[in-house]
Structure 1
Amino acid sequence: MKTSIVIKKGLSSDMRFDLKDGAGSDAVHTSPVYAYAVCRLVTDSNLEGVGLAFTLGSGNKIVCQAIEYLVRHVEGKEIYELMSDFGTIYKKMADDPNFRWLGPHKGVVQLALAAVVNACYDLWAKAEGVPLWKLLTSLTPEQLVNTLDFSYYEDILPKYEALDLIKKQQAGISSRESIIETGYPGYDTSIGWFNYSDEKIITNVKMAMDRGFTAMKLKVGSKNAAHDIRRAELVRRIAGDQATIMFDANQQWNLPQAIDICTKLKDLNPYWIEEPTHPDDVYAHIALAKAVDVPLALGEHVPNKVIFKNFIQSGCMTFNQVDAVRVGGVSEFILISLLSRKFNIPVVPHVGDMGQIHQHLVLFNHITLGHPALLLEYIPHLREHFKSPAIVKDGKYLTPMEPGMSADLLKHEYSL
């Protein structure tokens, strides 16, 4: 019989980390301050659920204030009872009438929702004494779909169809579980931050390859397209023709610019071009995909399941970069992954969590849903702040074994 664990209180923590020497810089954020709006669920046991939402800078405080409001939906709830029909409470939180006008389902409110939802899943896994990936892969199809809110998906992925999709993947689970031993492939997203010099990029590419990475990403999107092309050519030349290289524009091009620059970058055989234009502009992405035959990756700034639904249906998305600390947490991540699986679009998450949570979610995606095990972004800059930092060896994420979702930060760093 499972021990009852009741959530007594939800707390928020505003945690910010200065990065140095150009790390984390892109075409928008030239001096980034990485930040987590943390939700901590205190219980009547010695267990505590920890959930993250990723932000940048002073806006983090506003997300923390929203967390302090939303936690009232889970305070007083017993964790097993809560998670047995979590899709229902998820919908109540997402549609809270005091907050819905501020969204709906986007911005500060959605980020706060992500932190609260993630804390619930973390507590659930800790209550079971297993890592999140193990919890998720051990759920029955019925248990899994009961954690999801299918609102606005009834026309494209109703609950019964999601259930059938999961059941059809069960036949291959045993063979896919080998990923637990071999490790999940990573890619180095830190070789070419926007403010890095050419010399530093050259050094970083060589270091990444020495550490076993065969895939890496360069930041582009400067006001001078020739500058981007030159740096992209540099990375391709140093990494070689066999390397997997991505280019990330961080939404900086309008459609005519995107068509022009993507046409030029295509000659360098990119694995994908990421966020080429505004993240809400579905039609611009469709037009770009028709104009230039180049793989497009997007989702870092797509805030919710409805816009993901539009992108997935549109045919312009080659790679789905849904981020569980941007959309409404693990629950919405799983729903979006299910729809992406239906359309055979691989999920390669953006890692606002620095890969801590997503190392669990990609294992679940592969083992339970049958997504291909392609790549998971690796950003090492905040490793020293996590209690159990993600471990990458020879270019692969080693499977985490500690209970929970690996989101716990060092206790002395929490600001209350």
Structure 2
Amino acid sequence: MSETKRQIFVGTPTSFAMEAHLAPYAAHSATSRGRRYAEAPPTARTEFQRDRDRIVHSTAFRRLEYKTQVFVNHEGDLFRTRLTHSLEVAQIARSVARNLRVNEDLVEAISLAHDLGHTPFGHAGQDALHECMRDHGGFEHNLQSLAVVDQLEEHYGAFNGLNLCFETREGILKHCSRENARKLGDLGERFLTGRQPSIEAQIANVADEIAYNNHDVDDGLRSGFIPLEQLAEVSLWHTHHEAARSEYPRIDGRRLIHETIRRIINTLIVDLIDTTNDNLARIAPESLDDVRNAPPLVAHSEEVAAQAAALKRFLFKNLYRHYRVMRMANKARRVVTGLFGAFTEDPRLLPPSYQARGPVAEESANDAAGPTYNGSQARLIAHYIAGMTDRYALKEYQRLFVIDDN
């Protein structure tokens, strides 16, 4: 849908009162670039609070409980899922936003929605679906998250999707290829011009990395895939692990691990706030437009950024490339590829709502980000597979390929 139909807000007493404490460079509901479809303003909450509430009540958000981070959902009850990850991102992001006097409600909405378009089986599922869609525009989970909130959710009588504010949608679109950016109108313009999103979107972006790096350490230790002795080679871990042992010499096991991770997260958050405040003082933005025209403002110091990068490299080598993780990833790719192949070969196997109506259409101008039923049959299949939980994808694969004698 064209962005020219977007609703422009004029502000309400509620939004002005609730956001009076915000810095001038924060995103304010009263000056939002609006929604795609006009709606009456909320009476007891701001526009960004309404976005947050719609996301929490969406079908895609509930499905995150059964979508994997690193470990497939059935491998253990205590490993992170996309849902718990999103909640952890929101908590970190709100803490940072509060200290920087920017919009907590917007940063929470972005954080809770940023993974709505992720496939089952984490990055392995995403890579497999992208390969399947290579001749049909590819697959990007950020664009899929946008498709979910713009078109795929079916909760409202007046429109498809959740009809979120421009600023929330902008923050959800963390990455985008230049080719797809050209199809998205003003929402994709910043990827072509080098401009920045809001500070709230920048915060959610960094909070995402803080959350997954640290909970992947926790899950890696819990699974036994990462020995503690290996982590001692990582300075960020070693420093806080030794500090925890020094202050609490009698603790060990899970308590010591949690205490170490808690200290790492705190260090990353405090450094992020301090460095960003220094950047804000140096650039002195006076409006959201100044933020968009500035270089990235939300960042770690060089020292802490280097330590966080070292931890990320360690996880890539020792956890994400662990042979047992790779085995599961290989199975995941086979499931996604098999499902896509079966549905492509015979679309009648799809639920009726995912079967193209009439002759298969050419890819529409904004097909990479949706819309629900106006794209090619391949895009409809991608929507269906991307919306699956881990266990639903496994069951669907079994229904299609396994002959059960029972």
Q: TM-score, normalised by structure 1?
A: 0.26
Which structure would you say has the larger Rg? Answer: 2
Point out the structure with the larger strand share.
Answer: 1
Q: TM-score, normalised by structure 2?
A: 0.26
Point out the structure with the larger helix share.
Answer: 2
